[in-house]
Structure 1
Amino acid sequence: MGQKCTDPFIYLDYNATAPVRPEAVAATTASLAAVGNASSVHTAGRDAASTVDQARERVAALLGCLPNELIFTSGATEANNLAIRSAATHGRSLVVSAVEHPAVSEAAAAVANSVAGKVYTIGVHRDGTLRLDELEEALAASPVLVSVMAANNETGVLNNLDLVVRLAHEAGALVHSDATQLVGRLPIDLSKLRLDLLSLSGHKFGAPQGVGALFARRGTVPAIRPLAYGGGHERGRRPGTLNVPGIAGLGAAAQAARRDLEQEAARIKVLRDRFETEVMTAVPGTRRNGHPDQRLPGVSSLTFDGLPADALLAAMPGLAASEGSACSSGALEPSHVLLAMGLSRDEADCTIRFSLGHATTADDIDRAVRCVTYATHLVRAALHPNTTTTAPAHSGGQEGTRRHDA
């Protein structure tokens, strides 16, 4: 039956936020101990500006872009809004996928409304991958911008950005990607992947919360239209005094992530696969959501047949996981991502996202499996007190009983 979650706490919610890396703590702390506005010309100001420049170079190295193609922001939400607002023009349409984060879908809707444009929403298959036929149909309307996330925040499903970029550019559209969940977890090279705009948040890969960046390709993106006014910071594209300590932490986290990116991804994938296999074996009826291979190495979306996610999470207070996006926690509506993939409302309500990362250990996984198994038995017993759970573990492969059709 597994066992209760006991100390130490098990953290499997990296898609909400990752633990801050030691390198980022050190860089942020050192910057906090210093003084100086990066826009000032005295020695302290120049030292702060040097810290910002170094961080910009480190983030650029992680992305494979030029340092002057980066604009520091408060995170991906601001970067998404900045990108979409800057790309939109009067009367032109925008294209987004049905599984985008609200920071993209709601921004696109607001911008389209303000310029008398239209938003085309492209669906996804049961496995969470894009419906390319719908993308091609939307591109026939000559949109100004296509915004497709690099990796889904709930399922980890990866999009074929190379193909999206090729199709969109052939139609004359710019391409933006919310790469919040991808950056720092899998390699990306913007010198080869010809995205026009890309957003990221540092706290997803070990930087402090509240700092991120927008990549805007030099020479191909129209002038960035700031969301606020009142200063010439970031070359006039994002006014406001720079968050030097946060930016220092972002740079340090980027450098640390880049150092062993591929090795860490492989290690985390092994842990994720073991977690899924053992949980689906121990808990009959458990199903995995999303493409089995085309996904982030550390994300596992599991549907527990007939077991409400909120009850399961309450039964394992020593384990951090999520019903879906942390930004929508507490919402009464089920996940729009899972519904777009064809899950029923009941299935979506019985789904938990587990996400692993740089500090996850094999012991964490061993204890998490026991904890989840115990919670499922506890909740099932509470829901069906007169029923004995003796069903055999599923043996039909890693997806459980659900098919994930392409």
Structure 2
Amino acid sequence: MVQTGTAIVYLDYNATAPIRPEALAATTTALRTVGNASSAHGPGQEAAYAVDRARAQVATLLGCAANELIFTSGATEANNLAIRSAAGPGCDLVVSAVEHPAVSEAAAEVAAHAGGTVHTIGVYRDGTLRLDELEEALSARPALVSIMAANNETGVLNDLDLVVKLSHEAGTLVHSDATQLVGRLPIDLRKLQLDALSLSGHKFGAPQGVGGLFVRRDTALAIRPLAYGGGHERGQRPGTLNVPGIVGLGAAADAAACHLDQEMVRVRLLRDRFETAVMTALPGTRRNGHPDLRLPGVSSLTFDGLPADAVLAAMPALAASEGSACSSGALEPSRVLLAMGLTRDEADCTIRFSLGYATTTVDIDDAAHHVIDAARRVRAALYPNTTTTASGLAGGQEGQRRHDA
């Protein structure tokens, strides 16, 4: 069980993963070491060496060259850096309807200032990309296509190989926000010909506040810094390097690369065990997103007629997330789920459970117990005259088959 200070089962890895022991040890050591990586003296050069080693570790995880990486504060900054670098007079941009706001809002801002257009590609009910709409948008010769590798709410995976192929044939550059995929599934940027890719370390066990942007060395995407004031990161991201964070990122990348094959199989089995237990005990519960084309550790479940906030409040010993996002202080239905065709009521009844490298079988069994108990208590409070019957179980299973079709 993840150590959170209290006996809480932690299933919110898509928000942030617990720091890996290797990353914690490396970061702590770096925090005790004095040295600015830009300084020419001994301590400064030791810091620079530590940064170079971390850059090589991250490059190994991604399958790219170390000099193709720019360290940032995280994926939000990396997304903005990539998208703003594509800006030009009248430029059009392409994003999907289920992108993180760090992509969709950056694209809207860039296009508005450039006098261009953002083409938004829809998704099917299972969350997969409508490639016919992508092909239509590419006919406008956009400057950049930005499509996420894996969705943060449902875990649904996009076919980036095909996105790259179609985009490059149309003469368009391609960026991907791979925040949720890096460190959880294999990726080889020597084969996947993306022009740029964003990552955030805390999703796979690095400290919060550090990430990076991969930029292919032979791409036509010319990176323009978001800020000015120094020659750090080859002039593409000025500012004193966060040496402890970068060192922790490298250690997390190294650990993830070493254990990736075993972790993704183990985590997928745990997720399936959790879903089977919950969906068997709670008829009418529906799984969102493609059943197979998704991250191994993500489960988006809609609890028929049960508000997500009520279910979460009824299980304080379990950390998970609503299928909604807080916007301007008001809770709004998830844009992702609405784009997939769920109603507002269904979106409001959806919870995302995400697990990862430190999740155990005990965690999963405890989590299923908490969810089943909370859902039954909420249902009893909201619908006191309703009982579950054998026919209800059959109806719930049939509803799931229709939903997955």
What secondary structure, in the 3-state scheme, does the structure 1 residue paired with 2:351 have?
Answer: strand
What secondary structure, in the 3-state scheme, does the structure 2 residue paired with 1:200 have?
Answer: strand
Per-residue CA deviations over 1:168-213 (Å, capped at 9, x if unaligned) read 0000000000000000000000000000000000000000000000
TM-score normalized with structure 2 length:
0.96
Q: Give the corresponding residue for 1:335.
A: 334
The percent of aligned pairs where both chains have the same amino acid is: 76
Q: Is the 8 A contact 1:323 1:329 kept in 2?
A: no
Q: Give the corresponding residue for 1:367.
A: 366
Per-residue CA deviations over 1:84-129 (Å, capped at 9, x if unaligned) read 0012221120000000000000000000111111100000000000
Gaps of 5+ in 2: 1-5
Q: Is the 8 A contact 2:284 2:399 kept in 1?
A: no
| RMSD after superposition | 1.6
The question of 1:182 aligning with 2:217 is answered: no
Paired with 2:127 and 2:185, the residues of 1 have a C-alpha distance of 19
The question of 1:324 aligning with 2:323 is answered: yes
The question of 1:17 aligning with 2:16 is answered: yes
Paired with 1:29 and 1:371, the residues of 2 have a C-alpha distance of 35
Paired with 1:222 and 1:192, the residues of 2 have a C-alpha distance of 18
Q: Is the 8 A contact 1:281 1:395 kept in 2?
A: no
Q: Is the 8 A contact 2:287 2:302 kept in 1?
A: yes
Q: Give the corresponding residue for 1:4.
A: none
**Alpha carbons of 1:312 and 1:396: their partners in 2 closer, same or farther (altered >3 Å)?**
closer
- In the TM superposition, what is the alpha-carbon distance from 1:326 to its structure 2 partner? 6.8
- In the TM superposition, what is the alpha-carbon distance from 1:304 to its structure 2 partner? 0.2
Pairing 1:237-316 to 2, within 5 Å after superposition = 237-316=236-315
Aligned residues: 399
Q: Give the corresponding residue for 1:103.
A: 102
The question of 1:384 aligning with 2:383 is answered: yes
Q: Give the corresponding residue for 2:55.
A: 56
What letter is aligned with 2:66?
P
What secondary structure, in the 3-state scheme, does the structure 1 residue paired with 2:95 have?
Answer: strand
What secondary structure, in the 3-state scheme, does the structure 1 residue paired with 2:136 have?
Answer: helix
More RCO (CA 8 Å, sep 6+): 1
What letter is aligned with 1:147?
S
**Alpha carbons of 1:311 and 1:28: their partners in 2 closer, same or farther (altered >3 Å)?**
same
Q: Give the corresponding residue for 1:141.
A: 140
Q: Is the 8 A contact 1:86 1:224 kept in 2?
A: yes
Q: Give the corresponding residue for 2:3.
A: none
**Alpha carbons of 1:100 and 1:48: their partners in 2 closer, same or farther (altered >3 Å)?**
same
Greater displacement, 19-28 / 391-400: 391-400
TM-score normalized with structure 1 length:
0.95
Paired with 1:325 and 1:248, the residues of 2 have a C-alpha distance of 34
What letter is aligned with 1:11?
Y
What secondary structure, in the 3-state scheme, does the structure 1 residue paired with 2:404 have?
Answer: coil
Q: Give the corresponding residue for 1:119.
A: 118
What letter is aligned with 1:116?
G
Per-residue CA deviations over 1:20-65 (Å, capped at 9, x if unaligned) read 0000000000000000100000001000000100000000000000
